[in-house]
Amino acid sequence: MLNLTDYELMQLIRSGKHQALSVLYDRYGALIYSFAMKAVRDEAAARDIAQAVFMRLWTTEAEYNPEKGRFTSWLLTLTRNITTDHIRKQRRNASGLIQITEERFNELPDQTALSPEEHAVRYSLREEIQQACMHLSHPQKTLLEHFYWQGYSLSELAQLYDQPLGTVKNRLHQTLKILRRHLAAKGDL
């Protein structure tokens, strides 16, 4: 089962094969945990988010389509959505904001269980994303931080920036287009 593609594993998960979920967990558990940890900065919450992601894989009717993109992109989008829900719930409960600084963004938890190849791929991808982010203005970086890491909805950002919702949506769309263009130039998209 270890030699199966992510798509094939997802097909097995749909048919109720627990072992397929276990293989995906072994492949991506550390990635999902580190993504959640960067956002919430709480080990217990990051573990809960990782568990929720794999529970969603097990129970969801949504299917991964390899023609629409890489599995890791799909999985991180799912992780981001669950993390955002967690952050919003915490914000509602605490009536405070989670501050994500650039220093915290760059920190990763210890991932000693990863193979040297996985470390190299993640380091390379991180470098490419940082290079692409250099083409963004400060307001664009702030918008991404608020939307992706601090869990603001688009309507909340419109209120925060005192701008129409359509303007905020357009700014986010343009920012993502810039990132996509620079990442596609590197061959990642």
Per DSSP, helices labelled H in the chain are 6-14, 18-40, 43-59, 71-94, 102-106, 116-133, 138-144, 154-161, 165-185
Q: 88 and 6, same structural domain?
A: yes
- Examine residue 166 and state whether it is found in any structural domain, yes or no: yes
Rounded CA-CA distance 97/42 in Å is: 15
Q: 79 and 22, same structural domain?
A: yes
Q: 13 and 81, same structural domain?
A: yes
- Examine residue 69 and state whether it is found in any structural domain, yes or no: yes
Rounded CA-CA distance 38/43 in Å is: 10
Q: 40 and 9, same structural domain?
A: yes
Domain that holds residue 178: 115-189
Query: 34, 44 in Cβ contact below 8 A?
Result: no
Query: 115, 31 in Cβ contact below 8 A?
Result: no
- Examine residue 105 and state whether it is found in any structural domain, yes or no: no
**Residue 155 phi, psi dihedral angles, 5° rounding:** -70, -35
- Examine residue 110 and state whether it is found in any structural domain, yes or no: no
Query: 131, 123 in Cβ contact below 8 A?
Result: no
Q: Which residues of the chain have pLDDT under 50?
A: 96-100, 105, 108, 110, 188-189
Helix (H, G, I), strand (E, B) or coil at 189: coil
User: At which of 99, 133, 163 does a domain end?
Assistant: 99
pLDDT of residue 92: 67
pLDDT of residue 156: 86
User: At which of 37, 71, 99 does a domain end?
Assistant: 99
- Examine residue 127 and state whether it is found in any structural domain, yes or no: yes
pLDDT of residue 87: 85
In the chain, how many domains are there? 2
pLDDT of residue 60: 78
Residue with token string 């991506």: 28
